[in-house]
Structure 1
Amino acid sequence: MTDVIAAEFLKIRTVRSTYGLLAVIAGLMVTGVVVDFAMVADWNGSTAAEQARFASADARVMVIPFAQFILGALGALAVTTEFGTGMIRPSLAAVPSRLAMVAGKTAVVGAVALVAGEVAAFGAFLLSWSVAGTYPAPLWTWSSVSDAVGPVFCSGLSVAVCGLVGLGIGLVVRSTAGALVSLGGLLFVLPSLAFFLPEPWDTRIAAVMLPNLAWQFEETSDTSVLSPGAALLAMAAYVLVAVGAGAVALVRRDA
């Protein structure tokens, strides 16, 4: 199994798209800092009444949703590129056990997505803290860095979850375009459509949408529909269903 994991890691680190996607996340972090500076400048020139309506300057609000999609795309590309180029056949010849291949891809994509997600989450938070950390609420809502460690970690974990969901989608659809469209629908379209449902189903359905689970797991809001434990179980269910469906598709369908 270690040889399978090593082979999958070699594949993902020798593909240029991996570094391109990670570079986009780095660019988002820089953009978040620029936005923070603009918000601080606007805050300094605003009245107290105007300041009370400010949103938080935590750059994670902008970085994490896009990081979720980007790492989901990375997970999908980890398998769709092999199907697109036909390299899946030599891969299966080298690793006849298809479940072993799925396990290897899951381990590598999960590890890479978790590290990248935590770097993005903590990097965005610390950069924002360096810019706006001395300002009062609502511009900066954290009293200390240690208070934010748990919520920030949860943000990074949600990115890893999306990476594995993207892998599962890629195994099922086997098409880069199809996987990206499906991932975009799951992360952006369906959560928006949920709010058009009648009450109370709008908030109930929106609460179990993948992008909305991380902040409920953080337990930072009294408006959470799910408990932190239920949100964690929901994230685990997304991974199990996606990767499980992908494994079944790979085992039962011809390459």
Structure 2
Amino acid sequence: MSDVIAAEWLKLRSIRSTYFTLAVPVGFVAMAVLLAIYAVNVWDGLSPADRDHFALSSLATLNAEVTGICVAVLGVLAITGEYRTGMIRTTLTAVPRRRVLLLAKAGVVGAVSLVTGLVVVFGTFFITVAIVGGRPIRGQPSGVVSELPELFARVGAVPVFALFGLGLAVLLRSTAGAIVTVFMLGYVVPILTSHLPGPWNERLGSFLLGALPGQIVGGDNENSVYGAVLPPPVALLVLAAYAALPLTAAALTLTRRDA
């Protein structure tokens, strides 16, 4: 098993698309820095009355969602590239136990995604806190410790995106189809759901992947397109299902059809 994991790690870091995909969330950290600096400059020039109407949303939350979409694309590319080039036949010859192969891919993609999420989410948070300083800007955290549970929940959701993308790619065997589905789930479906009549917008919106980290820590997803009707244990189970169900279906499909 360790040899299979090492081989998958070698393949993942040998693909240029891996670096391009992971460069996007890193670039968003730089954008968050610029936005925080701009917000601080605007805040310092406002009157006390105008400051009551000024707000800056959580940049760490925004970057967590961007990172999730990017690593979902990474999960797709980790397998569809082999289908496109025909290398999957060589891989399956070297590793005939197909479920072991999928498990190794999932482990490597999940680990890379987790590390990326940690760096991006916590990097964005602490840099933003340092730039904002003690300014009581609405939307910014009042303390570091109180924000840690949600930050860890956001980071924990990042590899789920990646595993969802990997499982979906095995099922579809299409780079374009899997990536379009990922973007539909991440951006289009939440917007469509938010326009449904109540209470269905709140109910259905609570089951979307982006809504789950906030509910895991008992949040209300205020000022977002998501709902928040799930208790924390149920939200955690639904989050796990987003990774487990596609991978289980992928494992069954991979063992029953030709490469």
Structure 1 Cα separation of the partners of residues 221 and 21 of structure 2:
35
Pairwise CA distance, 1:153: 1.3
Structure 2 Cα separation of the partners of residues 187 and 46 of structure 1:
36
Any gaps of 5 or more consecutive residues in structure 2? 223-227
Structure 2 Cα separation of the partners of residues 213 and 139 of structure 1:
20
- Cα-to-partner distance string for 1:188-212 (whole Å, 9 max, x where unaligned): 1111111122210111100110111
Q: Please tell me whether residue 108 in structure 1 is matched to residue 112 in structure 2.
A: no
Q: Please tell me whether residue 154 in structure 1 is matched to residue 153 in structure 2.
A: yes
Is 1:36–1:57's contact at 8 Å kept on the other side of the alignment?
no
Q: Secondary structure at the match of 2:134?
A: coil
CA shift in 2, pair 1:4/1:135, >3 Å: same
* 1:141-220 aligned within 5 A: 141-143=141-143, 145-220=144-219
Is 1:92–1:98's contact at 8 Å kept on the other side of the alignment?
yes
* 1:18-97 aligned within 5 A: 18-97=18-97
Query: Which residue of 2 is the match for residue 125 of structure 1?
Result: 125
Taking only aligned residues, the RMSD between alpha carbons, in angstroms, comes to: 1.6
Query: How many residues are treated as equivalent by the alignment?
Result: 254
Q: Which residue identity does 2:213 align to in structure 1?
A: A
Query: Given the two structures, how large is their TM-score scaled by the length of structure 1?
Result: 0.94
Any gaps of 5 or more consecutive residues in structure 1? none
Is 2:211–2:221's contact at 8 Å kept on the other side of the alignment?
no
Query: Which residue of 2 is the match for residue 232 of structure 1?
Result: 236
Structure 1 Cα separation of the partners of residues 147 and 139 of structure 2:
15
Query: Which residue of 1 is the match for residue 11 of structure 2?
Result: 11
Is 1:64–1:159's contact at 8 Å kept on the other side of the alignment?
yes
Off by >4 Å, runs of 4+ in structure 1: none
Q: Secondary structure at the match of 2:196?
A: coil
Q: Which moved more, 1:132-141 or 1:50-59?
A: 50-59
Is 1:76–1:179's contact at 8 Å kept on the other side of the alignment?
yes
Structure 1 Cα separation of the partners of residues 167 and 60 of structure 2:
25
Structure 1 Cα separation of the partners of residues 2 and 80 of structure 2:
22
Query: Which residue of 1 is the match for residue 225 of structure 2?
Result: none
- Cα-to-partner distance string for 1:113-151 (whole Å, 9 max, x where unaligned): 1111111110110111111131114152232x2322221
Q: Which residue identity does 2:152 align to in structure 1?
A: F
